[in-house]
Every structure is written in structure tokens, then in C-alpha cells.
Structure 1
């Protein structure tokens, strides 16, 4: 998964089956040359190359992902004074405070709150949650409140999800039954 912490919100998810090629395998150095576009044969300290057999790529809005405070990289940012030091910018907002942590570089995106407020005020939040939260992105049962509102039988959805999960673990099921 890749997320934008910049001004344009976006999440990119790459679904794949990964294969690890370690440095002592014959395929390793040809892969490094391919990655480096034949400009080098090795990367110091590289332990492996990860190959991904991608079967799906999706994007979503990213409105819930915080953004990096613009005042940290743009002195002319409209929402920060050019007279503020980096330390002053870091101490601002919900992630600032007296003791700075790695979260101090972030600020909230106002988009998600504005959207939620608009939907709530126009009585459209339940409908939105049914449409978007009854199932997760990967098809698993979602929020129980959204599933109830969608008139789903919770026990049935949970049972189906559990059976799909068990069926996906064929090797573990076979070993537990003594079939190796």
C-alpha cells in the first residue's frame, strides 16, 4: 500500500503474491541488473529482491490520511507565516504539543470532517455507511451497524467469512486432518 501525505489525497493498494529471491540464489544478480537498468550489478547490503505477481490494483480517496504540514516544506504556504520556525510549525496542531513525536510533522485533512458533517446534516450518513461500510474493501464483513442497517443477517455473513478464510488455508486444513 502506498499513501500520499501531500496535498493530493490518494491511497494505492497493490494486491499480489510475493516471491522472495535471496542474495545467494542464481536469479538475484540478474534481477538487480534489471532493476538498476544495467547500471550496476549489486546494491551494498541488499539481502533480497521481492517479486510481486500483481492481480489487482485499486485506489481510494485517502481523505482519512493526514498530510505533512505545508509550513515544513513551503515557506510561502498560505496557512503558515513565513516568520515561523520549523520548531514552531511542528508544535502547532493536534500532533504538536509540548513533547514532539514523529507525528508532529502531520496535520489533519479537513476534507473528511467536512464530508461527514455535510452527510450528517442532510441525513445521508446512514445510507453512505450502508453503501460503503457493510463490507470491507477486501470483501469481508464490515461494520455491524452498517450491516444491520442493510438488513444483513450478521451471523450468516460472519459464518461465510470464516468458511472462506478456512478454505483459503488448504495446507493448514490438510495438515490438521493428517493429509500431507
Structure 2
């Protein structure tokens, strides 16, 4: 049975922190634009308060989340239990991306494990929390986090990642601004 929750309480926070993976979805305003859905892993999601969460965003091949947040701010995080009792939680809200020059970036970054691949921190003011059963979500056994992204980031180095973002994170697949005009601010 699905239900909405008024806030992230201590029990929900503990459950969120145990999850090894979550999904982030955003969409442009245009009906012709592409909806984006990305899996996220590692130790990259934090509950900052009863209605605020943040995740560490790493340099990647696309920049859809940042582009959509620039355009309209809409975002949802979905977590589902792959171990233990069945449960799905969705955190709907308005998001913002914090680049390294943002005053709060330096305050939030220490909450996450160090990672050279850091691109931004996505902070979300949650306005709707829903929980549902997840009876059909399969059980999986967690083996380990993948290390490929960390190894790639170390190999490229800070300058190489900056160059990659300048080449690949300037606009979304639909041509929306991503890091365009923000490339120097995205330098870490």
C-alpha cells in the first residue's frame, strides 16, 4: 500500500543510508525532449535534513541532470530495497547543482568520500515523499562498488577531467545548456 510521508524521519534516513544504489530522474519542459533516468551508486547520497538531500555528482558522458535543473529544477530520486524487506521510496522536489565555486559546495563536499571525479553536488529540497511496497523488486546480493570511474578519473587527472567536461558536458542531448558558460566554474 502506497503512502506519502511528511518528512524524512530517523528510520527513513537510516534505510536510505543503507541502500547501495538509487536512481535520479529529470525531464526538460519540452514534450519533444528526452526524459533522463540515471542509476547512481557508491557512497554518494546524503540526507541533510527532514526535507533536504544531496548527492555527489561525478564527471560523466552526459549532463542531462544539470541541464534539466538549469531549465526547470524538477527532480525525483527513487530508492528500492534489493535486500531485506520490500520497499520503494521516491523523493520528489526541486534541485540545484552546486559547482565548486558555489559557497555551499565546500561545506557539503566533506560529507562524501574524496573523489577526483567530482563535477558538482546536486541538492534537492524535497516537497513530496512517497513510499510503496516494492513487492516485485527482485532480491540482489551486493558484491562490491565498481572502481572503473574512480580509476578513469585518476588516470585523466583534474586537468583531463576539466577538458572532458568542456568537450562533453556543455549541452544536453536536446541542446539545453549544461556546463556551457559555466566551464571555468566546473574546474576542480
Q: Which bin holds the TM-score, normalised by the shorter protein?
A: 0.3 to 0.5
- TM-score of the two chains, using structure 1 as the length reference: 0.32
If each structure's strand is expressed as a fraction of its own residues, which one has the higher value? 2
If each structure's helix is expressed as a fraction of its own residues, which one has the higher value? 1
